[in-house]
Amino acid sequence: MADARKYLGVPYVFGGTTSAGLDCSGLVQRVYGDLGISLPRLVSGQSTIGQSVPSLADAQPGDLIVCNGGEHIAIYAGNGKIIQAPKPGGSVEEMDNWISPSNVVTIRRIVPTATSSATASAPSSAAALAALLGPSGGSSVAGLLGSGGLSSSSSALAALLGSSGGSSVLGLLRSSGGSSVSGLLGSGGGSALAALLGQSSGVNS
């Protein structure tokens, strides 16, 4: 929203995409482009990207509200306000939301929430560990955790697991029946793994 507010007062220009003049979809494309996110140029394309938001009551700052039969788009600013490039003769403005629920064609969320991002990180950690274990039944990790390398190897495995801690290993155990990790435990490296998991919220059970 701070980036969108930089364009307040820029005159409406049909087809405009620069700070010299913007139309409604030009404003949206420009704001997200400044943030490194490439969006389609027209409302018709912008109305199909990201995730659908069920209603205005669920809208969050930065969501895109498409209205007027798909001919206009505005950025929801929070607290019942929007930022838009309204029409010829006007300029980019922040104002009370005038778009009624019956006038909404779709609401699109482009930036994922923090919760969604955190949820997505756990499977990737499990996949990375699964790739490391590979078809060797954990022998590669067993070698990593073997004699002389307990401390540094545990740190390396901790870095691999990331903020999800042992939860990714639990997911791997459930999905693979534990066969890969059982090879690791049987080869003498299990104490290091157990110690590591014991440090991450007691998931070693």
Range of the domain at 64: 2-111
66, two tokens = 């498409």
Q: Are 180 and 93 members of one domain?
A: no
pLDDT of residue 113: 54
3, two tokens = 């980036």
pLDDT at 202 over 80: no
Q: Are 67 and 99 members of one domain?
A: yes
Q: Are 85 and 150 members of one domain?
A: no
pLDDT of residue 118: 44
Q: Are 25 and 126 members of one domain?
A: no
pLDDT of residue 58: 96
Q: Is residue 203 part of a domain?
A: no
174, two tokens = 């459930």
pLDDT one-digit tens code per residue, 175-200: 444 444 444 444 444 444 444 444 44
Instruction: With cut-offs at 50, 70 and 90, classify the pLDDT of residue 112.
Output: low
Q: Are 13 and 68 members of one domain?
A: yes
For residues 2-18, give the mean pLDDT.
Answer: 96
Q: How far apart are CA 147 and CA 187, in angstroms?
A: 11
- Looking at 61, 81, 111, which one is the last position of a domain? 111
Q: Are 9 and 104 members of one domain?
A: yes
Q: Of how many residues is the chain composed? A: 205
Q: Is the pTM of this model over 0.85?
A: no
Percent of the chain with pLDDT over 70: 54
- Looking at 111, 145, 163, which one is the last position of a domain? 111
Nearest residue to 192 (alpha-carbon basis) of 135, 148, 151:
151
pLDDT at 172 over 90: no
